[in-house]
Amino acid sequence: MMKSKKVLVAMSGGVDSSVAAFLLKEKGFKVIGATLQLRQFVSNKAVKAKKVAEKLDIPHYLFDVEDVFKEKIIDSFCKEYRQGRTPNPCIRCNQYIKFEYLLKKAKDLGIEFAATGHYARIEYDKNREKYLLKKAVDLKKDQSYVLYPLRQNQLKQILLPLGDYTKEEVKNRARELALSVELEKESQEICFIPGNDYRKFLKDWIPEVDCPGPILNTKGEILGRHSGLAFYTIGQRKGLGISNKEPLYVKALEPKSNTVFVAPEKNLYQDELIARAVSCICEENIPEGFMVKAKIRYLHQGAKARLFPRKGNRILVKFKEAQRAITPGQAVVFYDGDMVLGGGIIEKSKFPE
């Protein structure tokens, strides 16, 4: 009889990771649970995860990731906001913590695979001899967008058991198993920011962002004062503290002059962007002018665009139709059907002529 393969499952005590652990055990894997803990940010997820592990009769480890999390996630998060950009910390957390760190821990423990409760699919293409990252069956829950930086050597060791299930099916399985997990509405908060008060967080970590400056319209007229560039994002309307005949939105943030530029909504639409730090899933060169669906934020539906690789690991993305509020610091991810080709970090955008 073939020896069962081991898998280290990241467990938060929530429904997704708990059911993921169960499904892998059901398939015959020797499952070991692991909770990634931040000392500074108090959480009871370790207690919940341990209870689930006991219910599933699997070992459970608690790993302190405070130092690597600060280095890879929080420092980068603060740096981006200092420079007037709006980052997505979940992407870096998946890249460096939930997979790079978890895979290293798995290797140290002699475990072949690592797994999470993400809604996405990994498939091996025999013809291309490559691993592919694809959208989940449940498109409403699909999380492939935040996994685009994964590399081939990681994909071959990663298991995503929820990719073929809908969220409702996962919830039902948790109920059937009587797992002690919470099934209430999911939080959209950033895990390391208490109460999702990111303004207070930024003021505590980088006090210099609390720096007022002018709010200008497209004519260069001063309409008011902002409280610090880090507290605004492209497309924002509320909280500007200005009055105008027609609604105005944040169009751009300029760190050099510490200025917030505002404009009518029609001025927020852009048809090109440049992305940096481009990562390709299959590690192949993207053909000049290749047509894709490009997502410019997690909840964006995706829009038709052509890709034009540039020097310095950058890429020019030209949209068929102008897109609203393209935001520097966010990720742009490229899809060919349900397959993720790769993506990068939005560096700057261009408005239509």
Query: What are the pLDDT tens digits along the chain (353 aa)?
Result: 346 799 999 999 999 999 999 999 999 999 999 999 886 655 677 888 999 999 999 999 999 999 999 999 999 999 999 999 999 999 999 999 999 999 999 999 999 999 999 999 999 999 999 999 999 999 999 999 999 999 999 999 999 999 999 999 999 999 988 876 655 555 556 778 877 888 899 999 999 999 999 999 989 999 999 999 999 999 999 999 998 889 999 999 999 999 999 999 999 999 999 999 999 998 777 889 999 999 999 999 999 999 999 999 999 999 999 999 999 999 999 999 999 999 999 999 875 54
Six-digit token pair at 107? 């290797």
Residue type at position 254: E
- The number of beta carbons lying within 10 Å of the beta carbon of residue 125 is 11
Give the Cα separation of 222 and 225 in Å (integer).
8
Nearest CA to 329 among 98, 69, 76? 76
Give the Cα separation of 350 and 336 in Å (integer).
24
Give the Cα separation of 292 and 307 in Å (integer).
8
Are the C-beta atoms of residues 163 and 170 closer than 8 Å to each other?
Answer: no
- pLDDT for 41: 57
Q: Where are the alpha helices (DSSP H) in 178-325?
A: 198-205
Of 78, 90, 93, 282, the active-site residue reads: 93
Catalytic residue check, 78: no
CA distances from 170 to 212, 215, 276, 340, 341 (A): 47, 47, 36, 24, 27
Nearest CA to 215 among 199, 236, 197, 198? 236
Q: pTM, whole model, 2 decimals?
A: 0.93
Burial category of 308 from C-beta neighbours within 10 Å (exposed 0-12, middle 13-18, buried 19 and up): middle
- pLDDT for 286: 85
Of 191, 211, 280, 282, the active-site residue reads: 191
Nearest CA to 181 among 31, 50, 325? 50
Handedness of CA 74, 75, 76, 78 (dihedral sign): positive
Catalytic residue check, 282: no
- The number of beta carbons lying within 10 Å of the beta carbon of residue 66 is 15
Percent composition of the chain: helix, strand, coil (DSSP 3-state, to 5): 30, 30, 40
- pLDDT for 353: 46
